[in-house]
Structure 1
Amino acid sequence: MPHDDERDAFRRHGAEGVLLLGGGAAILLQLADPRVARGVARHSGFRDRPLDRLLGTLDYVYAVGFGDEEVAAAAVRAVNARHAPVHGPAAEGRPAYSAFDPDAQRWVASTLLAVALKLHERLWGPLDVATADAIVRGYEPLGLRLQAGTAGWPASRAEFDAWWSERLSGLEVGPEARSVARTLLSGASALPFGTAVLLPLVRLATAALLPPELRRAYGLQWTPRVERVAGAWFAGIAVVWPLLPRIIRHAPMHASLRRVRRRSRYAEHEPRGRR
């Protein structure tokens, strides 16, 4: 598949806002790495501003995947600024952590890819090999633009699946991960008006997209009835989503790009002493 065709395949996949249904599962997978869980629990303010991490991640992903070089660079600077204070030593049997850890950055990027692939195929069936390989390679810049570099990122879907299975076997859901997960899925935090109505669907999609062992570790309910309800939801979304106008399907991407451009313009015109 030529380079331009690969980029187009990735963008056709990544532009679809329905992939946001996998956000909860991706975050819980990230937290199952104790390094990430410690950093999020200690530095993110997740409990008070539950959408901040999601919006920050979205802005970075869309800027790197769809923005021009100016927009991507602005998003990279914003992420690096947020990451700078996120580090700490090993303590009480818990690992040291740093948001600049290349392996941890690859792990975060890989969770976004794994959940997106699973959700896409849950809705519309298996991807062909060439398209799946293009999507895998399309996610590589998420780590590359930070500190992860190119080393260790799979070049194909088959390589990614093998690497992913190995990494899943070493995950550990600790008390910090479970605490943040409760905040994410309970609605106990201050959510914007009207968004709490979506929490049942978020919980359902999150449980459906997690590997069974992690679903159990987080204490998420999964019975035959819940599985049937999830299947019905996904079947309905699969039918309705392609019928929506593109401006709606791609709205989250365009909103993120506008936020990054707005912040970048503000930073350029802000007096140097106030930055």
Structure 2
Amino acid sequence: MQPAGMRPISFLQPVGEAALVPADSVSWQIFKNPLALFIGGVAAVVLELAEPRVRSGVWNHTTFRTEPVRRLQRTGLAAMVTVYGARSVAEEMIAQIRQAHERVQGVTEAGAPYSAADPALLNWVQATACYGFLEAYCAYVRPLSLHERDCFLREAEPAAVLYGALGAPRSRAEMVAQFTAMRPCLEPSGILREFLGIMRGAPVLPAPLRPLQRLMVRAALAILPGWVRGTLLLDGHLRPWEQRLLRAAGGMADRLVLRGAPPAEACRRLGLPDRYLYDAPRPAILPSCGWDF
């Protein structure tokens, strides 16, 4: 979570300073689960790369192809700081990312101009991240109610505004509208398959767990809307035993307290016990499907 060559970021400081998202939020529950983060992150990137302008910006201006693990660490750290970091730390990091985005621009293979600072593209990237993490948690950890889903989207708004995504979805209805509006723009690409190949083989997990890593990549495709998989020519089928295995792994990960990880350190920064996120009561609301694609 701390990429080599980067200044380490502490989630313990400044003591007592709140994050952009409150500790009793749905976001703090979801982002503590590493399995949901991996699966949701892969799903989000697939959706991003399906949009040709975003795809060109990501593939032509990052080191993902040559340094996939380092790139994943940087992206993961940014997500952790956005959710768990002290507000002043998160605001400083997001400002630096926005400055970097200002320099990312060019033209797609089809001749369409793009800029990483384009609000429409930022809205799409924000929507894909929210969709991926939310659906991965619901599918492989525990179902969330409609109320919890909407809370998660609203909780993301302060950070989204700082990133420049002023029109990011704040409700299930707005998420459906965002996907509907983007539907004509999405297209299959060889880069998508290259990305999936990298994610299957990159040494993200220890060698003995590499088969689970490949399964989690397929699990990411399984949570995409059916029409998205059809448009992108991707297969997201999981066998029943694979679904059960992932749910068991997701449930175990949701109970695993990692004292040196951002969620526990953020709790200690606020004077809360390490187990705060694991012992917190959960709303007794019946789960339900969150989308109407």
Q: Confirm or deny that 1:48 pairs with 2:62.
A: no
Number of the residue aligned with 1:58: 76
Number of the residue aligned with 1:87: 105
Give me the TM-score of the superposition, normalised by structure 2: 0.70
Percent identical among aligned pairs is 27
Aligned counterpart in structure 2 of residue 77 of structure 1, from 95, 100, 103: 95
Q: Confirm or deny that 1:103 pairs with 2:111.
A: no
Number of the residue aligned with 1:266: none
How far residue 87 of structure 1 moved from its aligned partner, in angstroms, is 0.6
Which amino acid counterpart does residue 81 of structure 2 have in structure 1? A
Q: Confirm or deny that 1:202 pairs with 2:212.
A: no
Q: Confirm or deny that 1:233 pairs with 2:233.
A: no
- Tell me the alpha carbon deviations over residues 204-254 of structure 1, each in whole angstroms, 9 at most, x when there is no partner: 22222223344355554445xx4324312233224423442x226x83656
- Report how many residues are paired: 244
How far residue 128 of structure 1 moved from its aligned partner, in angstroms, is 2.3
Mapped to 1, the partners of 2:184 and 2:240 lie a distance apart of 27
Distance 1:254 1:73, change over 3 A: farther
The worse-fitting range, judged by mean Cα deviation, of 55-64 and 207-216 is 207-216
Mapped to 1, the partners of 2:126 and 2:192 lie a distance apart of 18
Distance 1:173 1:113, change over 3 A: same
Moved beyond 6 Å, runs of 4+: none
Mapped to 2, the partners of 1:97 and 1:222 lie a distance apart of 30
Mapped to 2, the partners of 1:108 and 1:48 lie a distance apart of 22
Within 5 A, what are the aligned runs for 1:2-13?
8-13=25-30
> Structure 2: 5+ residue runs without aligned partners?
1-20, 267-293
Mapped to 2, the partners of 1:86 and 1:94 lie a distance apart of 16
State whether residues 64 and 142 of structure 1, in contact with CA within 8 Å, keep that contact through their aligned partners in structure 2: yes
Q: Higher relative contact order by CA 8 Å / sep ≥ 6: 1 or 2?
A: 1
Mapped to 1, the partners of 2:187 and 2:105 lie a distance apart of 20
State whether residues 35 and 95 of structure 1, in contact with CA within 8 Å, keep that contact through their aligned partners in structure 2: yes
Mapped to 1, the partners of 2:32 and 2:254 lie a distance apart of 13
State whether residues 22 and 205 of structure 1, in contact with CA within 8 Å, keep that contact through their aligned partners in structure 2: no
- Tell me the alpha carbon deviations over residues 86-107 of structure 1, each in whole angstroms, 9 at most, x when there is no partner: 11135x5242111111111111
Mapped to 2, the partners of 1:182 and 1:118 lie a distance apart of 22
Mapped to 2, the partners of 1:22 and 1:213 lie a distance apart of 18
Distance 1:184 1:247, change over 3 A: closer
Q: Secondary structure at the match of 1:247?
A: coil
Q: Confirm or deny that 1:145 pairs with 2:162.
A: yes
State whether residues 65 and 138 of structure 1, in contact with CA within 8 Å, keep that contact through their aligned partners in structure 2: no
Larger helix share, 1 or 2: 1
Mapped to 2, the partners of 1:57 and 1:46 lie a distance apart of 11
State whether residues 118 and 209 of structure 1, in contact with CA within 8 Å, keep that contact through their aligned partners in structure 2: yes
Number of the residue aligned with 2:31: 14
Mapped to 2, the partners of 1:255 and 1:210 lie a distance apart of 32
